[in-house]
């Protein structure tokens, strides 16, 4: 007569977290960029977020001229998108100052 019902856990929201690509656009000698990298390191150490794909793009590298032209006065910038829905072209962004909660909320929104 009694059913065994499992409780919902908030981490279930992040079931396909490995589909999330995070890209931090940064440059050297940038205090905000150093803070953003530290925030990203803290977020990516959390069990629910450790499987996110993450890369840092140095906008000062000549290979990344398109990103320098776009973000030379705006770094750090964090791009987040769902790899499975890449055809939709939807990229969410955080600019300048962000903390762990903002990054986590962004990842959940993307999923």
Average pLDDT score, the chain: 87
| Domain 17-110: assigned CATH number | 3.40.30.10
pLDDT of 89 higher than 80: no
What are the domain boundaries of the chain? 17-110
On the question of pLDDT at 13 being above 90, the answer is no
| pLDDT, tens only, 44-80 | 999 999 999 999 999 999 999 999 999 999 999 999 9
Residues 6+ apart with CB under 8 A from 94: 77, 78, 80, 102, 103, 106
pLDDT at 87: 57
């Amino acid at each position: 007569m009694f059913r065994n019902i499992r409780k919902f856990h908030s981490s279930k929201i992040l079931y396909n977290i490995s589909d999330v690509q995070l890209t931090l656009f940064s440059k050297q000698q940038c205090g905000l960029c150093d803070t953003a990298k530290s925030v990203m390191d803290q977020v990516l150490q959390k069990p629910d977020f450790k499987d996110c794909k993450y890369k840092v793009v140095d906008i000062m590298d000549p290979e990344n001229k398109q990103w320098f032209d776009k973000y030379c006065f705006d770094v750090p910038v964090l791009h987040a998108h769902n790899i499975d829905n890449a055809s939709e072209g939807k990229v969410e962004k955080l600019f300048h100052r962000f903390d762990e909660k903002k990054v986590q909320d962004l990842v959940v929104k993307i999923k």
